[in-house]
Structure 1
Amino acid sequence: MLIEEYVAMEKEYGANNYRPLDVVIERASGVWFYDTEGKRYLDCLAAYSAVNQGHCHPKIMAALIEQAQYVTLTSRAFRNVQLPLFYKELHDLTGFEMALPMNSGTEAVETALKAARKWGYQIKGIPENQAEIIVCSNNFHGRTISIVSFSTEEQYRHDFGPFLPGFKIIPFGDAEALRAAITPNTCAFLVEPIQGEAGIIIPPAGYLNEVASICREKNVLLMVDEIQSGLGRTGKLFAYMHDGITPDLVILGKALSGGYYPVSAVLSSKEILGLFHPGDHGSTFGGNPLACAVARAALCVLVEENLTERSAELGAFFLEKLSSIKSPLVESIRGRGLWIAIELTASARPLCEALKERGILCKETHDKVIRLAPPLTITQEEIAWAAEIIREVIEESSQAL
C-alpha cells in the first residue's frame, strides 16, 4: 500500500483524536524509524519519552519473548515469579519502600490521587470527602475525567463536564502560591518537576526545594509526576534529583517498559502505600508477569548502558549545537538533558513538517514549541547531524517569511 492509502484508511475508520505527521512507520531500530517506502528518519520524540532505551532494544525484546513463552497474564488473583523481582529491583534502584504497578501513566496518576486522599483521611485526619489536592496551571497528567478536572487547557475539558471537585490550581514555579493555597484539608501537592507537554518549562532554581520544605512544614504529601521526565530523560534518574529532594510519591510510566508494553507504577513509603487493602484498588493487567519481565529488562538497560549519564552529556552537547541558530523565528531554546524545547515566534507545525521531509521526526506542542527528545542511545554524531538540519530548516523558514 502507498503511504497515502494508509493515511486515508486511518482517517476513514479511526476517531480523529490526534494530528499525526503524515509519515507511516513500518519498522524502527535504535534512534531510527523507517517508513513503508524505506526512507529513514531520526526519531526526536522517543514516543514522548517512552523509548528512552531506543527502539526494539534487543535485551528488552529477549525478555519479552522469553516470558511470553511461559505465562503472560495471571491477574493479581494469583502470584507470579516476575512481580516480586520487579518490586525488589525498583526498590534497589530508587530507594522507595513500596511500589504499586499499573499499566498507563494516567492510571498511575489516578492511583497516586487515591493514595493521597486515603492518607489524608486515615493519617492526617481530614474530614470525610473534604480532601484537597493542589496542582499547577499548564499541567499535563493525563486525560481521564478526574485528571482533566484540574487541567487548565480548555480543549482537554471542552464538552467533558461535569468535573470532579477537590482540586485547587496554582501557578507553576511559584512556591509562595503553594503556601497560600494550603488549608487544613490539603492532603497533597501534585507537580511535574519539569512541565513537558507545556513546552519543557523548567521552574526557577530552588523551586522544588521550597515546595518540599513547605509540604513538610504543612504536613502535605509531595507527589511528583515523572512519567515523561523520569528514567534518565533529564540527565538524572529522576528530574527531582536535580534539586536533591525526596518526594513522598513518585509516578512512573512510559520508559519503564522501553516502549514494548504499557507499564506504570507509583513509588512511595509503606506508611502511604501500606494503606491500601485488598479490594481498595486494582487492575487486571497491572503487575502481570510479561509487563514485569519487560520492565525489569528496561531498567537493567538504563543502568548497564549508563543512559542517564549519556543524557546529561549529550543533552548539553545538543543545546550547545542548537545555540548557534540565528533566526528571528526563535524566541528561546531551553532544556535539561535530552529534553529540549525550541520556542518559536510562529507556529511550529510547518517546521516539524519541513524537518520530516529532511529526515527528522519531532512534534510541536502548545503550537509554538518544537520538542526534541530523542532516545538516550543517540550518538554525538547523530546529534550534530540533526542540529545542522534543524538550523538549516529554521533559517530557511525565516527567509521564506
Structure 2
Amino acid sequence: MLKRLLLASALCAVACGQALAQTPVKIGVLNDRSGVYADISGEGSVAAARMAVEDFKAAEKGLKVEIVAADHQNKPDVGASIARAWYDRDGVDAIFDVPTSSVALAINQVTREKNKAFINSGAGTADLTGPQCSPNTVHWTYDTVALANGTGGAMVKRGGTTWFFLTADYAFGQALQRDTTEVVNKNGGKVIGAVKTPFPTADFSSFLLQAQGSGAKVIGLANAGGDTINAIKQAAEFGITEGGQAIAGLLIFSSDIHALTPKVAQGLVLTEPFYWDLNDGTRAFSDRFAKQAGGKKPTAVQAGVYASVLHYLKAVEALKSASDGSKVVAKMKEIPTDDPLFGKGNIRPDGRTIHDMYLFEVKKPAESKGPWDLYKTLATIPGNEAFRPLNQGNCPLVNKS
C-alpha cells in the first residue's frame, strides 16, 4: 500500500510539474468577420489557426495555447482599440491575420509599442516590410510588390501596354497601384489614367465607364474581396472584355473566383501564393479544412494563418516564452520556414517571408471538373524574384552598407 502511495505521489509530482511548466501562449486572430473580406479571412482563419495548434501538438511540447478572435470591421481605430485591449488587459501575446492594410499598419504600430508579435497574413501593403517595418512584425503571405511583379509584369508581356486603374481609396489600393505602375513602366508599358473608388462600394458602373472610355488595353483592379467580385461582374455586364479590353484582377483569391464562377472569370490572369490543388500537401490540408468550413477550400490568407502560426509556435517552443514579442520574431527569422503549404523559405531581416508565388489563369467552364477546380498554372515565380529586393524597401532595420 505504501509503495503504491509513493508511486502515485511520484507520478503526480511529474505530471503536476509538467503542467506547471507549460508555457502559456495566447493568440488573437483579428480580421474582417462580417464585411467584404470575411470570405478570404473571417472564421476560416480561426479554423486554420486551430488546425496549426493541433498539428504542432502544442500541448505535448509544453505550450498551453489559447485562441481568441475579433472583428476589426475594416476600421483602423477599431482594430487598434481591440489590439490595445488584447495586449493590456487580456494577455494576448501575438496577433495574426489582419486583412485591410490601413488596419494592419495601425496594429503594426500598437504591437511595437507593447513589444508583442504581429504576424500578418491578410494585408497587402508592402510598406509593412518597407518604411513601416518593425522588429515585432512578420509579413507572411503576399504583398503589393509580389502581386505587381506577377500579374502586372505578365499582362504587359502579353501586350497589355496601356493601363487604367480602379483603385480602392485606402492604403492597400494606393500601394497596389503604386507598385503595379512601377512594374508596368519598367516593362515598357504606360498608365494613362486612374480613378479612386470608395471602400467598400457596390456600384462600379461610373468608374468602369471611365476606364472603358480611356481606351486602355488593361483595366487594373487595385482592390480585393467583395469589391473585386462586384467590379468583375459589372465589367462583364458592360461587355468590357468583349470590347477588347482586358481585366487585371491584381488581388484575387480562389473564393472570389468560386463566387464569380469560371463562366464569368474565365481567362483571368492572377497571382497567388497558394492554391489548394498545387500538390499533395496543399490538397491534404485543404480536404481537412473543408470539413470544418462547410465544404469551402482555404484561401491563401487562411493558408498563411496556418503556416505562420506553425512557425510562430516553433519559435515560442525554442524560447520557452511568448512574452517578448521582438525576441520571438527574431527567433522566427533565425529558423528557416518549412511547412506543407508554402514549402521551404525564410524570413528576412525586414520581416518579409520569402516563398514562391504562382501565376494562374482561370479555367474555362469546360476545363473545370468541379466547383473548386478553378486554376491552371502558367508559371512559378521564385520568391527572390517575386518580392522586392531587401535593399530597396527603405526598411530602417536593414543595414544598407
TM-score range, shorter chain: 0.3 to 0.5
Provide the TM-score with structure 2 as the length reference: 0.33
- Higher helix fraction: Structure 1 or Structure 2? 2
Provide the TM-score with structure 1 as the length reference: 0.33
